[in-house]
Amino acid sequence: MRVTPPSFSDFQTVWCVHVAARLRIAERIDAGTVRIEDLAADADERALHAVLGRLVAEGIFEEPSPGCFALNDAARELLLGIGGRFTLAWSTLEDYVRTGRPAYADAFGRPFWEDLAAHPEIAAQFDHLIGPGGHPPPDPQFAHRDAAARRPHRHADRVPRAYATCRPRGGGRQPPGRRAICG
């Protein structure tokens, strides 16, 4: 069975959302700045209009008249509540991968749990998002180690023993869809 890889063009909308979040377009529209020339004060007007046009076509933002943008329910998720924070937090992924340290504070000025403590309304949104019971208190014993000190396969010691000795039936390489013998 051949698996078709996803089309990288699927990322176009995600990157447009990323740019809109980074430029805080939703907050600016919410504050009354709706014309493209004003929204593009710190960006190229044509490029930003193309990005917002893509988002309008995807149902994120509205363009009630040419060059004027408005929030809809989807765009309101980009306001700096928990949805907007998660969107912007993804922009720190590369820093996390490079260093092994969370970079949430780089985007928001304080670590995630401190940010929730400082913004009870956002903490309530987070609790609603994750379901009944809300979030547990942060674990003060949980520490991120320096990336240089990490073992290459740092989770290898967590593999259950039964899976540590898996091998394909009949030996050799495991063909797709075949079951392995463990034990």
Q: Is residue 17 part of a domain?
A: yes
Does 41 lie in the same domain as 61? yes
**Domain final residue, candidates 30, 47, 76:** 76
Residue 64's pLDDT is 98
Residues 69 and 110 in one domain: no
- Structural domain contains residue 48: yes
Contacts for 91 with CB less than 8 Å, ≥ 6 apart = 18, 21, 22, 107
Last residue in a domain, options 53, 76, 99 = 76
In degrees, rounded to 5, the angle at the alpha carbon of residue 28 between the alpha carbons of residues 22 and 29 is 120
108 pLDDT more than 80: yes
| Per-residue pLDDT, 144 | 55
Split into its structural domains, the chain has a count of 2
Domain boundary among 60, 76, 92: 76
Q: In this structure, is residue 135 part of a structural domain? A: no
For residue 105, give both structure tokens: 């504070």
Backbone angles phi, psi at 122, to 5 degrees: -75, -40
Q: CATH number of the domain that 117 lies in?
A: 1.10.287.1350
pLDDT grade, residue 180 (50/70/90)?
very low
Give the alpha-carbon dihedral of 25, 27, 30, 35, to 10 degrees: -30
Q: Given a cut of 60, is residue 181 above it in pLDDT?
A: no
Rama region for 10: left / alpha / beta (φ>0; ψ in -120 to 50; rest): alpha
At residue 30, the pLDDT reads 97
pLDDT digits (tens, 9 = 90+) for 9-68: 678 888 899 899 889 999 999 999 999 999 999 999 999 999 999 999 999 999 999 999
| Residue range 138-175, pLDDT digits in tens | 776 665 555 445 444 444 454 444 444 444 455 555 44
pLDDT of residue 156: 47
107/52 same-domain check: no
> Residue 172 has which token pair?
């050799």
pTM recorded for the entire structure:
0.61
Query: How far, in Å, CA of 24 to CA of 78, rounded?
Result: 8
